[in-house]
Amino acid sequence: MRTLACTALLCLLAALPAYAAADREARMTPVVRAVQQVGPAVVNITTTSIQRRNVSPFAEFFGDLPPHFQEFFGNGQTREYRTQSLGSGVIIDGGKRLVLTNSHVISGAAEVKVRLQDGREFPAELLGADTDFDLAVLKLEGEGALPQAALGDSDDIMIGETIIAIGNPFGFSNTVTTGVVSAVKRSIDTENGFFTDFIQTDAAINPGNSGGPLLNILGQVIGVNTAIQAQAEGIGFAIPVNKASRVVAELLSSGEVARVWLGLSGQDVDQQTASYLGLAKVEGLLVTEVYDGLPAKAAGLKPGDVILSLNGLAVKDKDHYIELLRNYTQGEAIAVSLWRDGKTDNLSARAATFAAETATALGERRWGFRFANTSKRGGFVIGSLRAGSPADKLGLKNGDIVLQVGNIRLQEGRDVQEAVRRYRLANTLMLTIVRDGELYHARMRI
């Protein structure tokens, strides 16, 4: 009897591996498969930043003083501080060892290290980053192919479909959260600017998840997770992978993303204009000039049109119009809804590169001065003025040094061009000027 019982027990134990294997196969859901497939390509990014601060003689008694006290109580000595932060990324090309992440993950970093799921760690070189799109591309040092994730099609996303977010929230490597696509083409107004075209999900995306992949149930990357609204609970956002791919292509080819425009000038709609044109709201951009050879002209836009929306996003005023354009890449189609002759009309235009030489020429035309060269103190020296221009009416002179335009400090040529791109529709412009060694702040009417 005892022998029979032992035999039965041995048979049962022998059968357990088969039962366990069958049970494991039953638990192998599409989510598990997707995570196993992409997990090796998800990386942990550690950045090190270096800051120097004044050393206070009172530090022994009170510790480090706040920055605004240091200039009064510092003793001229400085101390180096190293700070670290964590983020996520995903390998998008294993052969070239390229990692896609958010630009804010590596912002200000003096050193970037990337750790894979298998424990390998590599120093990383920044190939390019763009803050407007919050994307960056890193290249891992070393040789040999690495695991990579497959990219999906974010234009084919379905509301309600299951998604998976993988990242390193709070330093916990390869953490997985799941949810559904709550919405697409979401827009968010943040302290860092106006962002459009986000994927919204209820999957948890926390600090540290930023830069990690958002996957569909097939294990394809459809977005790049962005912890952009930390105060929101149950709401996560991701940059669509199709947009990310366009940005990556530009970063790899030139190291930066070209700024775009439609080739027009305009102004805010006031109450009087809205009443005259029969507009329901005092919103939009009143087109005042359309430039030859550019998308606005080709699309059929005319002076007197009021641009109501871009790709379905309402245009509030001229500043908002420029903010919206910062979300598009060169060649991207933009649906323009406008008000003309008392009714709405719809046109399509492709965003054109706002080239550096175009920006320089437009600044000279709109503002009325040309820079000769940089100053040893920083800023640019005015070399010539156009009679009757806004600069001439303000009283600027040849030899004046322009240190700052709006909130953009002029240190190199690209700063001048960026100032034109940002303030090209402004009616007034704040300038910081140096003349005869004296610093002035002036408001220029345009």
Q: Which amino acid is residue 143, in one-letter code?
A: E
Choosing from 210, 265, 337, 389, the catalytic residue is: 210
3-state secondary structure of 258: coil
Annotated catalytic, 134? Answer: yes
Annotated catalytic, 173? Answer: no
Residue 430 burial by CB count (10 A; 0-12/13-18/19+): exposed, middle or buried? middle
Q: Say how far apart CA 316 and CA 307 lie, in whole Å.
A: 10
Q: Say how far apart CA 137 and CA 124 lie, in whole Å.
A: 10
| Residue 253, pLDDT above cutoff 80 | yes
Q: Which amino acid is residue 25, in one-letter code?
A: E
Choosing from 93, 130, 134, 317, the catalytic residue is: 134
Helix-, strand-, coil-residue percentages of the chain, each rounded to 5: 25, 40, 35
| Residue 249, pLDDT above cutoff 60 | yes
What's residue 427's pLDDT? 92
Q: How confident is the model at residue 17 (pLDDT cuts 50, 70, 90)?
A: low
Least confident of 66-80, 112-126, 136-150, 276-290: 66-80
- For the chain, give the number of residues: 446
Global pTM reads: 0.80
Q: Say how far apart CA 203 and CA 193 lie, in whole Å.
A: 24
Residue 47 pairs in a beta bridge with: 85, 112
3-state secondary structure of 443: strand
Q: What is the pLDDT averaged over residues 374-394?
A: 90
Q: What is the pLDDT averaged over residues 310-339?
A: 95
What's residue 71's pLDDT? 47
Closest CA to 334 of 360, 372, 295: 295
CA distances from 42 to 2, 161, 429 (A): 55, 22, 46
Choosing from 85, 88, 103, 104, the catalytic residue is: 104
Domain 260-353 bears CATH identifier 3.40.50.970: no
Q: What are phi and psi of 294, to 5 degrees?
A: -125, 170
Domain 360-445 bears CATH identifier 3.40.50.2030: no
In sequence order, which ranges of 270-424 are alpha helices (DSSP H)?
271-277, 295-299, 318-325, 356-367, 390-394, 413-423
Q: Say how far apart CA 400 and CA 438 lie, in whole Å.
A: 10
- Angle, alpha carbons 408-368-320 (nearest 5°): 45
What's residue 69's pLDDT? 46
What's residue 79's pLDDT? 62
Q: How confident is the model at residue 187 (pLDDT cuts 50, 70, 90)?
A: confident
pLDDT digits (tens, 9 = 90+) for 27-52: 889 999 999 999 999 999 998 876 66
What's residue 244's pLDDT? 96
pLDDT digits (tens, 9 = 90+) for 345-357: 999 999 999 999 9
Domain with CATH 2.30.42.10 in the chain: 260-353, 360-445
Closest CA to 114 of 133, 75, 142, 150: 142
What's residue 195's pLDDT? 83
The DSSP call for residue 22 is: H
Q: How confident is the model at residue 377 (pLDDT cuts 50, 70, 90)?
A: confident
**C-alpha gyration radius of the chain:** 28
Q: Would you say the C-alpha torsion 211, 217, 221, 222 has a positive or negative sign? A: negative
Q: Say how far apart CA 110 and CA 264 lie, in whole Å.
A: 40
Domain 154-254 bears CATH identifier 2.40.10.10: yes
What angle, 0 to 180 degrees and rounded to 10, lies between the N-to-C axes of helices 356-367 and 413-423? Answer: 60
Q: Say how far apart CA 300 and CA 296 lie, in whole Å.
A: 6
What's residue 291's pLDDT? 95
Arithmetic mean of pLDDT over the chain:
87
Q: What is the pLDDT averaged over residues 18-22?
A: 63
| Residue 2, pLDDT above cutoff 80 | no
Say which residue the tokens 């003349």 belong to.
Answer: 435
Pairing of strands 213-216, 193-201: unpaired
Annotated catalytic, 389? Answer: no
DSSP 189-250: EETTEEEEEEEEESS---TTTTTPEEEETTS-EEEEEE---TT-SS-EEEEEHHHHHHHHHH
